Structure 1
Amino acid sequence: TSSWTVFFDKLRAIGATLVFFCDGVVQEEKYVTWNERQKRKYEDTIKILDAVDEGISVDTLINLFRRDFPGNWLYPVKEVAKKHGRVVTSIANECDKELIQYANSVNALAIISNDTDFLVYEGFWQYWSCK
């Protein structure tokens, strides 16, 4: 059982409703930033693959590159999320904004994210970092 599954099970056991938000279409005004981020992810992925080719163990890889793993490597997390709650893909607006609107509309306890942008948004929820 993954640590994500255990964590989500505990939240649900105390009555929490889990809703997961993920990015959909890139907003036009974010293309330049998105493109730069994709280039960095590509370069990070090459570093990880080079380390695999060098025979570095999976445990060491995870410790060395934890913050550099590309989003698609988090596919298992999305699958666990689907089992524990509702997954919302933001299409019409930027994901952060849709998430904030939702959190404020339901008086959410917390937003769990690796995006510190949530520290500047207003709301009565807490920001829990998953880094």
Structure 2
Amino acid sequence: MEKVDHLGIAVASLDETLPFYTEKLGLRLIAIEEVPSEQVRVAFLDASNIKLELLEPMSQESAVAKFVEKRGQGLHHIAFGVQNINERLLEMKEQGIRMIHETPKSGAGGAQVAFMHPKSTCGVLFELCDKSKGKGE
């Protein structure tokens, strides 16, 4: 793991939540985009030493919608920046870590991503995020 790339925060509505982050906290909005593979609309915010990724569900079937329904809005995941995500996935599996995604999938900002199952990580949802081949933000 190279560093924490971003913190994912589940929200019910970007339109309702973004003003808190931009106006009250003074964070700079980097970009908003849709991630069809995860059925979410995301907003990236610059928090100086780290990015925040606000995740709004685009359908009731998305994992984020289920998270918000069950737990409410709040911290959803921690994303680690990695190089060569396929090698990192093999390392995680060799260490007995159960993966939600066995192969990388397209994420926000052109990144390749894969999530570790919280049952293998002491209850925390971790994401591997490889931006080496994507456009990044």
Q: What TM-score do the two structures reach when normalised by structure 2?
A: 0.24
Q: Which has the higher contact order (CA 8 A, sep 6+)?
A: 1
The structure having more radius of gyration, on CA atoms, is 1
Q: What TM-score do the two structures reach when normalised by structure 1?
A: 0.25
